[in-house]
Structure 1
Amino acid sequence: MTRLPPLKALRVFQFAAESGSFKLAAEKLNVTQAAISQQIKLLEDFFGEPLFLRLNREVRATPSAHRLLPYIQQAFALIEEGSKTLEQDSFPHQLKITSIPSFAAQWLIPKLGAFQTQHPDLSCFVSTSLDLHDFSDDSQDLAIRFGSGGFVGLEERMIANDYILPLCHPMLLEQLNRGERTIDEMPILLDSSQELETLNNAFKAMFGGSSKVALQVKDSSLLMNAALNGQGVAPIRYSLAFELIQRGQLVCPVNFYWHSVFSYYLVAPESYFQRHKVKVFSQWIINEVSVIESTWQVYKQKAGLQLQRL
């Protein structure tokens, strides 16, 4: 393969040749004149001939430099054009979202119609996954994930914290109130995901030990459905259940809650957040999820809930 001159030196050469000045090139590139001179010298050593004549108070491009400049300009123009193709949105009227299953089922899908009413020009495609999408292709524009952040190589924007509280069907609470059942006798429902082990242990300790576990599932939506059907008491995220709580379909039989160690994030490559469709969706979902926090503060105070440490 033919040896190519150093790219950095070529870029310096372009600015110096176009401006006719090492000083102006240094100002544009935010480096010193000495750094410009050093890069030009590297290029002259590579080609084995001078590219600039150093005069007392100025530099002057040589005929060789004039011959070289149009090629360098064209090369960098092609590089810039190629870079822009990677940043461009191939499908500006399609918004492709990957979400964790529980959030998609219990929150996003029921509310997405309001977003589409505001933006009828956009078609929305929602898929579900617990894995973090790598964005190596055009299959997704944005990911909604529940975690502790630190999504390497991607831009992340936290949109909401969450809270976990014991919830059950009102029927079970009525049994407690009538003395037909005690807290220790309530069946326990758990999410068996490994990262929730600390929470599960704390929950079991509150409700009388591991022998009371009636059901374990690996999906928050399934856990909530089991609680809705009166199968027991479960640690459920407020973000998924707050409307059911407001309607009285789920109730809290005790007066404590936990802070979730995870939060909701929008995740994508940094350039994707500059796409119009991602911008409008991001603003919409931030506004919508703010309702969760405001209703939580009201509910927590009204119910007299006390924070428990995990």
Structure 2
Amino acid sequence: MKIPPLNPLKVFEVVARTNNLTTAANELLVSQSAVSRQIAVLEEYLGVQLFTRERVGVRLTEVGVAYAHRIRPAFEEISDATKFITQKYSDNVIRLRTYTTLTARWLIPRLPRFNMQYPGVDVMIANSSAPLDFGTEQCDLAIVFGEGTWPDAESTFLMEDVIEPVCSPAFLESAHGGVRLLEALHSKRLLVSKYRKYDWPAWLAHAGMGDVFDNAEKMIFSSSILTWQAAMDGLGIAIGQSQMLEADIKSGRLVRPFSRPLKTGKGHYLVTPSLQRYSSKIASFKDWLLHEAEQSED
């Protein structure tokens, strides 16, 4: 691939477009003599004369016209591509990638506070549980559940993953029935989220009842949100993520029958591409999210 020096090539494109050395120099923020030197470098590289110097200004030669016609679309493509990449950092939209449970149960109830603090910034949310890949996804940052390491990305810890059983107040009252509550788990339906199917075994082992899960009656749901709704409706007892159920527990829709929270060792992280142009809107959004996470843990 034979490509001439790019700086002289850019100078040629501007001179060819303006047909004036002075105008080109003003656009490029350089002197007229610097423009002339760059044109001379390009002509020497190509071995052809691109301009005819006239008493007033310059005029493209026949080969210069043909060359300008061929390279101008390339510079327009470069300009459009650069605009596409940089525009997302200069507009008023933050593109956030996260997943449905966190969006519905933790983020959305808090977003009105962000809107009040930053009324000129919009948050566009895309939900996905697929592996994170900034190379294919058009997002500025993501909230991801895991252990804090993702390829070609930088992560900031947001909040810890804490789990424990939850149920409706009516279910708790019926579960007592004269026996100890932990023992009652042997005969109660366990509500299981498909994507968090290991939470019950982990918590039961934590409670010294590792044998219960395999023999218990279970009802499996496609999401944590549906699992918790089933618990609110008295279908059984579910495993809850503490930060996601704060409002439901405070309102009394759900109760924590054992008060034995378990930290799973994982957490939710703010993840950004390793190579990302600084943006004040993204920095402000990250700071706000971190503050909200601190408040929810108090």
What RMSD in Å do the two structures reach over aligned CA positions? 3.4
Name 1:152's counterpart in structure 2.
Answer: 151
For the Cα contact (< 8 Å) 2:200–2:213, is it kept in 1?
no
Q: Is 1:185 matched with 2:187?
A: yes
Of 70, 86, 89, the residue aligned with 1:88 is: 86
**Cα distance in structure 1, aligned partners of 2:265 and 2:222:** 18
Of 218, 222, 226, the residue aligned with 1:218 is: 222
C-alpha displacement at 1:207, in angstroms? 8.0
Identity of aligned residues (%): 24
Is there any run of 5+ residues in structure 2 with no aligned partner, and where? Answer: 6-36, 43-74
1:1-310 paired onto structure 2 within 5 Å = 1-2=1-2, 88-90=86-88, 92-136=91-135, 139-179=138-178, 182-193=184-195, 196-197=197-198, 199-203=199-203, 205=209, 208-272=212-276, 274-294=278-298
C-alpha displacement at 1:86, in angstroms? 8.0
The worse-fitting range, judged by mean Cα deviation, of 93-102 and 204-213 is 204-213
Q: Counterpart of 1:187 in structure 2: which amino acid?
A: R
Is there any run of 5+ residues in structure 1 with no aligned partner, and where? Answer: 6-66, 73-77, 295-310
For the Cα contact (< 8 Å) 1:98–1:143, is it kept in 2?
yes
TM-score normalised over the length of structure 2: 0.65
Residue-by-residue CA offset, 1:247-274 (whole Å, 9 max, x unaligned): 2221122242211232111112134472
**Cα distance in structure 2, aligned partners of 1:208 and 1:165:** 15
For the Cα contact (< 8 Å) 1:96–1:126, is it kept in 2?
yes
**Cα distance in structure 2, aligned partners of 1:149 and 1:101:** 19
Q: Counterpart of 2:109 in structure 1: which amino acid?
A: P
**Cα distance in structure 2, aligned partners of 1:202 and 1:154:** 29
The 3-state SS of whatever aligns with 1:262 is strand
C-alpha displacement at 1:118, in angstroms? 1.2
For the Cα contact (< 8 Å) 2:203–2:262, is it kept in 1?
no
Name 1:303's counterpart in structure 2.
Answer: none
Q: Counterpart of 1:268 in structure 2: which amino acid?
A: T
TM-score normalised over the length of structure 1: 0.63
Residue-by-residue CA offset, 1:107-135 (whole Å, 9 max, x unaligned): 11121121111111112211210123423
Q: Counterpart of 2:194 in structure 1: which amino acid?
A: S
C-alpha displacement at 1:162, in angstroms? 2.1
C-alpha displacement at 1:206, in angstroms? 5.4
The 3-state SS of whatever aligns with 1:285 is helix
Residue-by-residue CA offset, 1:229-284 (whole Å, 9 max, x unaligned): 11111111101112211222211222422112321111121344721221111111
The 3-state SS of whatever aligns with 1:251 is coil
The 3-state SS of whatever aligns with 2:239 is strand
For the Cα contact (< 8 Å) 1:135–1:269, is it kept in 2?
yes
The worse-fitting range, judged by mean Cα deviation, of 137-146 and 260-269 is 137-146
**Cα distance in structure 1, aligned partners of 2:136 and 2:188:** 48
C-alpha displacement at 1:292, in angstroms? 2.2
For the Cα contact (< 8 Å) 2:100–2:128, is it kept in 1?
yes
For the Cα contact (< 8 Å) 2:164–2:203, is it kept in 1?
no
The 3-state SS of whatever aligns with 2:212 is coil
Question: Is the alpha carbon distance of 1:92 and 1:216 closer, same or farther for their aligned partners in structure 2, counting shifts above 3 Å?
Answer: same
Question: Is the alpha carbon distance of 1:153 and 1:138 closer, same or farther for their aligned partners in structure 2, counting shifts above 3 Å?
Answer: closer
